[in-house]
């Protein structure tokens, strides 16, 4: 551990005193020699979180606030810190469609625009070396080790954009990081080995087997440890719970009610209004909430996913029709004839309020059951045990991203919350896709890494990012329209 601290201290001090962040508006093609890189090179590897992915895609105005870019600034603004900057309208996980934008005049969330050739948007495509930020959206752990382009990464186009092979001898993300000969590597891989399962509604077949993860993470540390003959500083981040993101938890609690309070029924997702408040359908002094109808049965529905909201508003997905309402009333002891009449009256009332009682169940791709949630949490826990165990054996520090996201959800961090933009537009730390941080969220991540670096030695004192500089990214009109297409765009890269 002492040897590791010596070299990480050297890496940080050299970068902190020697560099200045390149102005992304002034393109420059520069070939940096190996000797120069060894003196001041910090490299970041990972997935969309490392890449600075926001609101469903990559765009330069997002990337300049990626946590690697923010850390580079705080370390002294390295003039040679390079990212694969993407011009407008940005490149999303939906081919030909730009990143999501918030229209403050209308309150709508929709794609920024369209494009035909993604390579034409890569502003520094001719950089004669790999990028310092090698984060690749959609990359899982195995792909970070083995994929050299889209063809070997499930046709994920971001691999071609960022690795730019065959220009670099068909090297992987990790191999490109190695040839930069960095003195410090920040690695955050593993999130996508479980995230896709959550975004697909608890499809547990998308979780990487624990033995595979163990083997791949062991190899990752072995490969990084070869840099500079082992004289390299490494910082790792663990994996947050995939249920702690607005895409999954946006409706948790808000639309859950006992259908008839006080008789022992469990809270379930119920019909709600335009403000996401449960609707009481009892015309008298009591309370009656209509459960949403779901395709999954046999286990409690714990989460209803973000794209459901667009389908609910547009098509009435999950809203019970008269037959479903009558069956509920009969199960509660209402005579059949009375139940049928009350059901018809309730349907007419819903229509008058702008709701569509479709009678179409919410598909299992848009819900996560209690059993599925347990499996997702266990997978994350197992992966994090592997990360902590391997890191401890190698004397490598780990940033506890899992604990920080839990804190963000439970109590907030520096006045920022983990709530979706609909619910907290001024203070949310999440972007418009409900999965990735916004600029403030990335500032929070950058600060956690900086704190970890500063804690390693009294000689390291990197200033923190002022997250307040990014507060209010979505101020303006109330969010009112999140289209089905926009919601699905948020998960496209993870769920093919």
Q: What is the mean pLDDT of the chain?
A: 89
Residue predicted with more confidence, 9 or 241: 241
What is the pLDDT, as a whole number, of residue 220? Answer: 98
What is the pLDDT, as a whole number, of residue 285? Answer: 77
Quote the DSSP letter at residue 86: B
- Whether 344 shows a pLDDT value over 50: the answer reads yes
What is the pLDDT, as a whole number, of residue 262? Answer: 85
> 321-343 pLDDT, tens per residue?
999 999 999 998 999 999 999 99
- Whether 18 shows a pLDDT value over 90: the answer reads no
Q: Are 416 and 466 in contact (CB under 8 A)?
A: no
Q: Nearest CA to 329 among 281, 372, 377?
A: 281
Q: What is the dihedral of CA 276, 282, 288, 291, to 10 degrees?
A: -60
Q: Are 398 and 236 in contact (CB under 8 A)?
A: yes
What is the pLDDT, as a whole number, of residue 38? Answer: 33
274 band by pLDDT with thresholds 50, 70 and 90: confident
Q: Nearest CA to 187 among 384, 5, 47, 392?
A: 47
Q: What is the mean pLDDT of residues 28-41?
A: 37
Quote the DSSP letter at residue 353: T
What is the pLDDT, as a whole number, of residue 80? Answer: 83
What is the pLDDT, as a whole number, of residue 27? Answer: 29
- Whether 410 shows a pLDDT value over 50: the answer reads yes
Q: How far apart, in whole angstroms, are the C-alpha atoms of residue 287 and residue 269?
A: 15
Written as six digits, the tokens of 314 are 């547009």
Q: What is the mean pLDDT of residues 443-470?
A: 93
Domain boundaries, the chain: 2-248+369-489, 249-367
CATH architecture classification, 2-248+369-489: 3-Layer(aba) Sandwich (3.40)
481 band by pLDDT with thresholds 50, 70 and 90: low
**Cis amide bond preceding 89, omega within 30:** yes
2 band by pLDDT with thresholds 50, 70 and 90: very low
How open is the CA angle 275-281-283, to the nearest 5 degrees? Answer: 125
Q: Which of 209-213, 258-262, 366-370, 426-430 has the lowest mean pLDDT?
A: 258-262
What is the pLDDT, as a whole number, of residue 13? Answer: 47
What is the pLDDT, as a whole number, of residue 34? Answer: 35
Q: Are 90 and 58 in contact (CB under 8 A)?
A: yes
In 198-338 the beta strands, taken as DSSP E runs, fall at 233-237, 256-257, 268-269, 301-304
Q: What are φ and ψ of residue 156, in 5° steps?
A: -75, 110
What is the pLDDT, as a whole number, of residue 37? Answer: 29
What share of the chain has pLDDT > 70, as a percent?
A: 87
> 48-68 pLDDT, tens per residue?
999 999 999 999 999 999 999
Q: What Rg, from alpha-carbon coordinates, does the chain have?
A: 24
- Whether 105 shows a pLDDT value over 50: the answer reads yes
User: Look-up: residue for tokens 């949403």?
Assistant: 292
Q: How far apart, in whole angstroms, are the C-alpha atoms of residue 321 and residue 496?
A: 32
């Amino acid at each position: 551990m002492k040897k590791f601290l010596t070299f990480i201290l050297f890496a940080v001090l050299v970068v902190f005193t020697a560099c200045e962040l390149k102005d992304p508006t002034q393109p420059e093609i520069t070939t940096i020699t190996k000797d120069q890189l060894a003196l001041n090179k910090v490299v970041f590897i990972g997935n969309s979180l490392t890449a600075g992915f926001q609101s469903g895609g990559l765009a330069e105005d997002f990337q300049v606030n990626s946590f690697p870019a923010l850390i580079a600034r705080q370390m002294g603004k390295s003039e040679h810190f390079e990212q694969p900057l993407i011009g407008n309208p940005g490149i999303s996980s939906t081919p030909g469609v730009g990143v999501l934008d918030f229209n403050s005049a209308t309150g709508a969330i929709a794609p920024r625009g369209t494009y035909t050739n993604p390579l034409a948007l890569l502003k520094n495509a001719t950089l004669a070396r790999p990028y310092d930020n090698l984060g690749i959206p959609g990359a899982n752990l195995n792909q970070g080790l083995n994929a050299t382009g889209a063809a070997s990464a499930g046709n994920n186009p971001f691999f071609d954009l960022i690795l730019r092979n065959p220009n670099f001898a068909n090297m992987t993300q990790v191999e490109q990081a190695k040839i930069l000969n960095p003195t410090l590597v920040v690695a955050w891989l593993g999130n996508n080995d479980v995230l896709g399962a959550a975004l697909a509604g608890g499809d547990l077949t998308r979780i990487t087997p624990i033995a595979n993860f163990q083997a791949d993470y062991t190899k990752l540390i072995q490969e990084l440890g070869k840099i500079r003959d082992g004289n390299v500083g490494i910082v790792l981040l663990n994996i947050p719970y995939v249920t702690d993101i607005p895409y999954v938890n946006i409706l948790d609690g808000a639309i859950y009610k006992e259908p008839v309070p006080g008789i022992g029924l469990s809270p379930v997702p119920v019909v709600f209004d335009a403000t996401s408040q449960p609707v009481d359908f009892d015309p008298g002094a009591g309370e009656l909430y209509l459960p949403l109808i779901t395709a999954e049965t046999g286990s409690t529905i714990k989460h209803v996913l973000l794209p459901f909201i667009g389908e609910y508003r547009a098509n009435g997905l999950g809203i019970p029709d008269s037959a479903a309402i009558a069956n509920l009333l009969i199960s509660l002891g209402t005579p059949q004839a009375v139940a049928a009449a009350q059901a018809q009256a309730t349907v007419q009332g819903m229509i008058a309020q702008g709701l569509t009682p479709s009678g179409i169940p919410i598909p299992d791709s848009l819900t996560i059951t209690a059993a599925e949630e347990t499996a997702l949490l266990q997978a994350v826990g197992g992966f994090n045990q592997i990360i902590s165990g391997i890191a401890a054996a190698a004397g490598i520090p780990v940033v506890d991203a899992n604990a920080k996201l839990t804190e963000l959800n439970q109590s907030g961090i520096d006045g920022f919350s983990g709530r979706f933009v609909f619910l907290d537009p001024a203070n949310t730390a999440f972007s418009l896709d409900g999965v990735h941080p916004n600029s403030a969220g990335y500032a929070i991540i950058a600060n956690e890494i900086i704190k970890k670096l500063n804690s390693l030695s009294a000689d390291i004192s990197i200033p923190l990012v002022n997250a307040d500089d990014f507060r209010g990214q979505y101020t303006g009109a109330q969010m009112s329209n999140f289209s089905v297409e926009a919601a699905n765009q948020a998960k496209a890269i993870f769920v093919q």
